[in-house]
Amino acid sequence: TPVHRSNQSDFKLSTKTKELSKDVRDKIVDQHKAGMGYKTIAKQLGEKVTVVGAIIRKWKKHKTTVHLLWSGALCKISPRGVSMIMRT
């Protein structure tokens, strides 16, 4: 019986993605201000919808597109989870 040997190319390895440049983040925010949706922006710039959403959420919270450093431990609960806890 033949033995199946898989190459590394068969496996999808997760790697850390590189940070988007400031001008790309600014373009995302500008298009959002112009009334475009997340999917449309993502298609035009070739980014994922989740990336576009994360950049816009960060811009809404901090009013900046500059890469901010994290201090302390990361929050383990989503913003939606926080609002659900606050409601109860």
pLDDT tens for the chain, residues 1 to 88? 555 554 544 445 555 667 889 999 999 999 999 999 999 999 999 999 999 999 999 999 999 888 877 778 877 888 899 999 998 7
3-state secondary structure of 9: helix
Question: Could you say which architecture CATH assigns to the domain 20-67?
Answer: Orthogonal Bundle (1.10)
pTM of the model: 0.61
Residue in the block written with tokens 């960060």: 58
Instruction: Taking each helix axis as running N to C, give the angle between helix 22-33 and helix 49-62, from 0 to 180 degrees, rounded to the nearest 10.
Output: 80
- Of the candidates 18, 82, 16, 26, the residue with the CA atom closest to the CA atom of residue 52: 26
Task: Tell me if 31 sits within 8 A of 58, measured CB to CB.
Answer: no
Report how far residue 55's alpha carbon sits from residue 49's, in angstroms, rounded to the nearest whole number. Answer: 10
Q: Compute the half-sphere exposure of residue 39: CA atoms within 13 Å on the CB side of its CA.
A: 0
